Structures are given as structure tokens and as C-alpha cells.
Amino acid sequence: MNYRNLGNSGILVSEIGLGTNNFGRKLNYKESEIIIKSTLDHGINLLDTADMYSNGLSEEYIGKATKENRDQYIIASKGGMNPMPSPTDTKVAQRVNEGPNKSGLSSVHIKRSVDESLKRLQTDYIDLYQTHIFDPFTRQEETLKALDDLVTQGKIRYIGCSNYMAFELVEGIHISRKYGWAEFATIQPEFSMFEREPESELIHACDKYNVGILPYFPLASGFLTGKYKRDLIPEDGRLAGGNTAWSEKWLNDENFEIIENLELWANNKGITMVQLAFAWLLSKRSVSSVIAGATKVEQVKSNSEASGVELSNNDLEEIDKILPQTNKAGVGNLPRRIQNTP
């Protein structure tokens, strides 16, 4: 496993991180514990979670599984978005119904959320705390001051953001510099060979301001694994069913042709589709770690094997001719914004 700086911070993280939004949803504690404990065997030290994942169960599982060797993990969590349900949570409706300050990036909510996350994680610090989505109803000054207070108190060590547009990230950085507050070290966007919007503006801002990118959905919800075929859609896959927004987005003739050409290219190169997808992201200078989920130990292993796979400039040019072109600039992650608007 290779390691990179976590954005502009001094700590090193594995090139492949573990996404944990399946903990408490698809996986119970014992299954999640097995996954977590397997990460160190494959050199993975970055665990990415959020307070909303399974309504806090993901953080609880991580806290319980890592409390004996907490210092070996870099734990990243997020706050500010409406919670997602767990199988045991009958209040599937957004927990925002319990009160108007149960989501968003106000100082009150951030500080309360961090304290609650610390309890669930059974730790006295969070290595990286990220704002889960931009809050148009709260001034960035209020959010960033609250985060800086938490850094000063030692409750969090570095701050990051997720699902921000490039100008929102840069605005936040300049606000922090104006007041001498902690700056965003990282940003989490949806980024893959099929979701290339970050290449239009965000990646250039990150290069300039030395902000680390932590791509999520790096396999386009599993489509880039190659297990989806024109005539064979795995029933247990995220894109199964044919009527979800993800399946409608990815499962079409144009995209299947791209997948088939990528598989041919990867086979000729002697690498797997997962290795190709992750190596392509890691070829971007600002990418610190690729956040990849896993529900089996075998997936943790196969994900980790993408570290160290290098693509030449010629390789990247050939791949670019196969891929869909970069999306238009400035659109951001609009579906998530609409979903999270009170």
C-alpha cells in the first residue's frame, strides 16, 4: 500500500480508504467488525464515515471495533446532512422532524454533532471532520469559526468539506485565511471515470490551494466493476431493479459500450477494472485517497491492490478517448442539494 498526505495536512493516509455507509444498513456489527479489522492487513488506515450513516450506527460500529488500537486508524467523519435510516429505525423520515436544528452547518448543530460523534466513536478526537454538504442558510464564517473552535479544543484535528462547488471551497479557504482559522484540508466529491464534473473546475482549485480530494462512488455505484452486462444485471447490485435513479443513469447502451471498451483496455494492460478505475483517479495530483466501500473482506483486498498501479501519460490519453467527456462546469451535486433542502 502506498500512502499520501491527507491534503495539506501532515498525516499520511492509504491511497485506498474504506467507505462505511453500509455499516448498520447492509452489515450488522459482527460483519462490519470483520471488514474493519481486515483493513490494516491490507495497509488501509483511512476509515470514512458520517453521523447520518444508518443514523449513527456506522460510527458506533467503528468506535467499538477500533477502540483497542485507535491510533492505527485515521478516522474521518462528516456532519450537517439529514440522517439516513437504519433497518431498526422506524423514523425513516428525516430526523430534522425532531427539531429545526437537527441538520445544517450552524455553530450549534456542528458542535453538538461532533460531541455526539465522539461518543459513538468512543474516542476523544476525530482526525478529519467534514461538512457533509454546503448549507446555503448558514454563513461560512459561522461554520468555519465553529470548526476552528473544535480544532483548538482538540476534538477534531483537521477539517474538510464534501459536495461543495469550487467557488464555495475557495470562498471558505479565503475566509479561514482572513481570520487565521483552520482551513479545509480536503474535499469529498462524487468522482469517477463516469462522473467527471470535478475535472471542470474543482480539481484545478484543489491543485492551486493544495486541498486533497477524497473521491466517493469511485466505481460509479458498482458499474465500473464490470459485473454489469447488457444481458446480466446482478440482483444483489446497487443498480439492480432498473427503476432507481442510479440504474437509469448508468445502464444504457452508450455506457455499456464504454464499459466493454474499458474492459478490453484493462485486459490488454493486465489489470482489473477496479484497479483501472482507482488508478485513473490516483493519477490526479490532488487525490489523497479513494474512498471505496466493501461488504466482504475479498473486496477490501481487491480494492487495496489498486494502490501502486501506475498509468502513463500515453495510457491516460488512450483512456480519455474511451471515456465520456468532462461534464459542464458549475453544476455541483444538485440532486443531493435538492434532497437536503429543508
Catalytic pick from 3, 29, 53, 61? 53
- Taking the C-alpha atoms of residue 33 and residue 309, their distance in angstroms, rounded to an integer, is 28
Position 335 pLDDT exceeds 80: no
Q: Phi and psi (nearest 5°) for 132?
A: -70, -30
- Taking the C-alpha atoms of residue 342 and residue 215, their distance in angstroms, rounded to an integer, is 26
CA dihedral 335, 166, 254, 240 (to 10 degrees): -40
pLDDT of residue 229: 74
54 or 204, which is more confident: 204
Position 330 pLDDT exceeds 50: no
Q: Say if residue 99 is exposed, middle or buried (CB neighbours under 10 Å; 0-12, 13-18, 19+).
A: exposed
pLDDT of residue 226: 77
pTM: 0.88
- Taking the C-alpha atoms of residue 187 and residue 18, their distance in angstroms, rounded to an integer, is 16
- Measuring CA to CA, which residue among 225, 228, 319, 325 is closest to residue 269? 319
225 or 42, which is more confident: 42
pLDDT band at 245 (very low <50, low <70, confident <90, very high): low
pLDDT 10s digits, 60-94: 999 999 999 999 999 999 998 765 444 444 332 23
290 or 334, which is more confident: 290
Interstrand relation of 12-14 and 156-162 (parallel, antiparallel or unpaired): unpaired
pLDDT band at 252 (very low <50, low <70, confident <90, very high): confident
**All structural domains of the chain with their residue ranges:** 3-340
What does the buried/exposed string (b/e) look like for 60-72 if buried means 16 or more CB atoms within 10 Å of the residue's CB? bbbbbbbeeebee
Interstrand relation of 12-14 and 16-19 (parallel, antiparallel or unpaired): unpaired
- Taking the C-alpha atoms of residue 166 and residue 227, their distance in angstroms, rounded to an integer, is 33
pLDDT band at 340 (very low <50, low <70, confident <90, very high): very low
pLDDT 10s digits, 88-136: 443 322 333 356 667 789 999 999 999 999 999 999 999 999 999 999 9
Query: Residue 246's CB: how many other CB atoms inside 10 A?
Result: 17
Nearby residues of 267 by Cβ (< 8 Å), 6 or more positions away: none
Kindly state the cell numbers that stand for 220.
Answer: 460509479
pLDDT band at 192 (very low <50, low <70, confident <90, very high): very high
Beta strands in 25-120 (DSSP E): 46-48, 74-79
Question: How many percent of the chain have pLDDT more than 70?
Answer: 83
Q: From 3.30.200.20, 3.40.190.10, 3.40.50.80, 3.20.20.100, which CATH number describes the 3-340 domain? A: 3.20.20.100
327 or 304, which is more confident: 304
pLDDT of residue 107: 94
Apex 213 CA angle, 215 and 166, nearest 5: 105
From residue 128, give the alpha-carbon distance in Å to each of 5, 110, 148, 155, 308. Answer: 13, 14, 12, 10, 24
- Measuring CA to CA, which residue among 153, 109, 115, 149 is closest to residue 131? 109
In the annotation, is 73 catalytic? no
The separation between CA 239 and the C-alpha centre of its own chain, rounded to angstroms, equals: 19
pLDDT 10s digits, 1-25: 999 999 999 999 999 999 999 999 9
- Measuring CA to CA, which residue among 140, 212, 225 is closest to residue 177? 140
Q: Say if residue 54 is exposed, middle or buried (CB neighbours under 10 Å; 0-12, 13-18, 19+).
A: buried
